[in-house]
Chain A
Amino acid sequence: MLAGLLLLLVSVGVAITLGPADILLVNVRDIVTNHLGLTDIAVKMSKNAIVWEERLPRAFVAAACGAGLGLCGVIMQSLLRNPLADPFILGVSSGASTGAVVIGVLGLGGAAIGLSGGAFIGALIAFGLVLLLARLSGGGTDRVVLAGVASTQLFSAVTSLIIFAFADSDETRGVMFWLLGSLEGMRWDDVVLCAIVVVIGSFVCLRYAHALDAFAFGDDVAASLGIHVTRTRAVLLVATALITATLVSVAGAVGFVGLVLPHAARLLVGPRHARLVPATAIIGAIFMVWVDAGSRVAFSPTPLPVGVGTALVGVPVFIALLARRRRRT
C-alpha cells in the first residue's frame, strides 16, 4: 500500500510537468516549495499560475475522482453482486446532468446555486427516486438495479429535452463538456471538497470491508454471517450516492473509472475487500492523474474532456476483461 501511495505521489509530480505549457520538474519544485513557505525563489507568474492554480488542483481532483469513483464501483459491484455495476447505476450521474442543465440552460436558481450545486441537488433527487422505486417494487438487489436503470433513463431524457429545446449551440457545447466529465477550471476548494469526501468514503468502505466480503454469496449467507443486511446495504448505497454525487457535481460524469478499475484492482490483489478497497483507490487515483495529463496534451490547444480520455482507455481494457471472463467460463 505504501508503495502505491509513493507511486501516486511520483505520478502527480511527473504528470504536473505534462501539458502544452513548458514546465520543468525544477519549476514544479520551486513553485511548491515557495507555496509551502520554504523558499522564495523568483518564478514567472504565468508558470506559477499554471502549476499551482491549474495543474496541481486538477491532478488532485483527478486523483480524488479516480479513488472515489473506483471505491464506489467496488461497493456497487460487491453489494449488487453484478460485475457490470458502476457508481452511475444509481442514476446519480444522470440526475446531476439534469440539475446542471436546469441551472446552466434554463437559468433557474442561477448564481445562487451554481452549476455544481444544481448538479448535486439533481443527483440526490435521482437517487431518492431510485430508493423510492426500489422500495415500491419490493426492495432487494435486483430491484435496486432496475430502479437505477429507470431513473437513469428518465433523467437522461429530461437532460436531452432541455438541451434540445432551450440551449443554443454555445450553451450546448458548454454543457456537453460538463456531461462528459471535465477537469478544466478545478480550483483548490474543489480539491478540499473532493479530498474530504473521498477520505471519509474510504474509511466507511474499510469499516464495511468484511460485510462486503460477506455479500459474495447473497443476502441470506451474509445475514447468516451476522451482517445486518438491510442496514448495511442502506448505509453503503447512501455513502456511494453521496460520494458519487459530490464528485460528479465537481468534475462531471467521468465514465468507466467506476466500472473498470475495480476489476483491474481485483486482478492485482484479489477479491478480499480489506485489500481491494485501498488498492482500487490508489490505482484509480494514479490512473486518473495520468488520464488528466493526457487530456491536457492530446488535442492541445483544445482541451479534451477527461471523460473522453477514460472512455478511450477504459473501453479496450473492458473488452480485454470481458474476453478473459469468456475464456474462463
Chain B
Amino acid sequence: MHQRAAISLALASLVAVGLFGCGASEAVDTSPTSTSGQGSTQYPLTIDNCGTQTVVDAPPQRVVSLDQNSTEIMLSLGLADQLVGTASWTDPVLDSLASANSEVPRLSDNAPSYEVVLDTDPDFVTASFGRHFAQGGVASRERFAETGIGSYLSPTDCDNGTSINGGGTRTHALTIDALYEEITELGAIFDVPDRAATLIEGLKARAAAATQGIDFAGATVAFWFADTKTPYMAGGLSAAGLLATTVDLDNVFAGSPEDWPATTWESVADRDPHILVLGDLQRDRFPGDRLDDKISFLESDPLTQTIDAVRNKRYIVLHGAELNPSIRFVDGLEKIQSWLREHKDEL
C-alpha cells in the first residue's frame, strides 16, 4: 500500500519534471561590455595582494563589495556604475555618498551567501575584512578565481601576507598608509588613478587639519566597541589604536596585540581611563550596541560608575565605521578634535 503510493508519487513527479524541463535553453548575452577608464593603467595588471596574486586584464565592470569600508572607497572613486552589489553594512552610508549608493543594489546587511554574490554575475569582488575569504565566509579567493572572478582584500587587514580578520594577528601597528595604499591600488585596478590621488590628498589635508592644535595633556583613553558583558576594547595595533596615537592619547589597552580583545570591566576600571570612546553601532544586534544602551549601562553599573571617564561623563561618540580602518578614520579624527575643543578645560 505504501509502495503503491510511493510509486505513483514518483511517476507523477517524473511527469511534472518532464513538463517543466522541456523547453528552449536560455539565451546568453555575449556582447562585449564597454570599458570606461583613463587609459593610464597598463593591463594586464598584476597586484600582489595579501599573499594572493591577482591579475586584472581590464578594469572590472561588475564589482561586488563585501564590506562597507570598501564600498565607500569605491563610491568615493566615482565607481558606482561598476558596483553591482554591496554587503556588510555597520552604519548608514556617508551622507556625501548617499545618492550614489542608492543606485547600487544592497545584497545583504551582513555577509551574503556565495550564491547571492554569484547571482549578480560579478567579475570582481572586494573586501575590507578577510573573514569573507576564510572558512565559514562567502568563498575563498581561489574559489572566486575558478569562475574568473578577481578578488581584492584591503591592505589594512593584511600583515605579512596573512589576513588579520581571517585569523592572523598583527605584528606591527596599522598605519594610515595602508588606507592610502588601498585607495591607490583600487585606483590602478579600475584605471582611475587621478581620482585616487585626489581622494588621498583630500583625506591627508583633512587629517592634518584635524590634528592641528590637539593637546590632550597626557590623558588616557579606552575605545569600547560593543558588548556590556565582555566589553571589546581596542588594542594598540588596531585602527582605533591608530586614532589614539595620531592624537597623542594614551590607549590603556595598547599592550594587547589583538584588534578588539574581549576584556572585563574589572580590567577597565583598574586602568581607569580619563576618556571613553563609545562606538555607536547601528547594527543593534547585541546588548550595548547602541549609544544610549552603552551610556545607561556605564552610569548604572556599580563597577563602571567608578571609572574616571564615567564619573566625569567624558565620552567621545564614534560610528562603528570610524573605529575600523576606512576613509571614515578621518571623520573620527575630526570628531575627536571637535570634542576636545568643547571639553578642553575638563581635562
| Residues on A facing B (Cβ under 8 Å) | 3-4, 6-7, 10-11, 13-14, 19-22, 24-30, 41-47, 49-50, 53-55, 104, 107, 115, 168-171, 173-175, 177-178, 182, 184-185, 268-269, 296, 300-303
Whether B28 lies near A43 (C-beta < 8 A) is: yes
Whether B136 lies near A178 (C-beta < 8 A) is: yes
- Give CA–CA (A14, B16) in the complex, Å: 10
Whether A26 lies near B23 (C-beta < 8 A) is: yes
> Within 8 Å CB of A44, what residues of B?
26, 28, 121
Query: Binary interface profile of B, 1-38, with partner A (CB < 8 Å = 1, else 0)?
Result: 01100110111011001001111111110100000000
- Give CA–CA (A14, B10) in the complex, Å: 13
Whether B116 lies near A49 (C-beta < 8 A) is: no
Whether B26 lies near A302 (C-beta < 8 A) is: no
Task: Give the Cβ gap from A303 to chain B, nearest Cβ, in Å.
Answer: 4
Give the B interface residue count (CB, 8 A).
53
Query: Binary interface profile of B, 145-156, with partner A (CB < 8 Å = 1, else 0)?
Result: 011100000000
Tell yes or no: B191 within 8 A of A by CB.
Answer: no
Whether B111 lies near A302 (C-beta < 8 A) is: yes
Whether A45 lies near B148 (C-beta < 8 A) is: yes
Whether A168 lies near B26 (C-beta < 8 A) is: no
Whether B146 lies near A53 (C-beta < 8 A) is: yes
- Give CA–CA (A45, B112) in the complex, Å: 19
Tell yes or no: B134 within 8 A of A by CB.
Answer: yes
Which has the most chain A C-beta neighbours within 10 Å: B30, B115, B122?
Answer: B115
Tell yes or no: B113 within 8 A of A by CB.
Answer: yes
Whether A30 lies near B118 (C-beta < 8 A) is: no
> Within 8 Å CB of A49, what residues of B?
118, 146-147
Whether A170 lies near B131 (C-beta < 8 A) is: yes
Whether A19 lies near B13 (C-beta < 8 A) is: no
- Give CA–CA (A209, B112) in the complex, Å: 45
> Within 8 Å CB of A269, what residues of B?
2
Task: Give the Cβ gap from A152 to chain B, nearest Cβ, in Å.
Answer: 23
Tell yes or no: B258 within 8 A of A by CB.
Answer: yes
Whether B119 lies near A26 (C-beta < 8 A) is: no
- Give CA–CA (A29, B18) in the complex, Å: 11
Tell yes or no: B139 within 8 A of A by CB.
Answer: yes
Whether A171 lies near B167 (C-beta < 8 A) is: yes
> Within 8 Å CB of A302, what residues of B?
108, 110-113
Give the residue name and chain of the B residue nearest to A5 (CB): B10
Whether B146 lies near A21 (C-beta < 8 A) is: no
Whether A41 lies near B25 (C-beta < 8 A) is: yes
Whether B3 lies near A3 (C-beta < 8 A) is: yes
Please tell me which one of the listed residues A24, A45, A173, A178 contacts residue B26 in the complex, with CB atoms under 8 A apart.
A24
- Give CA–CA (A29, B22) in the complex, Å: 9
Give the residue name and chain of the A residue nearest to B121 (CB): A46
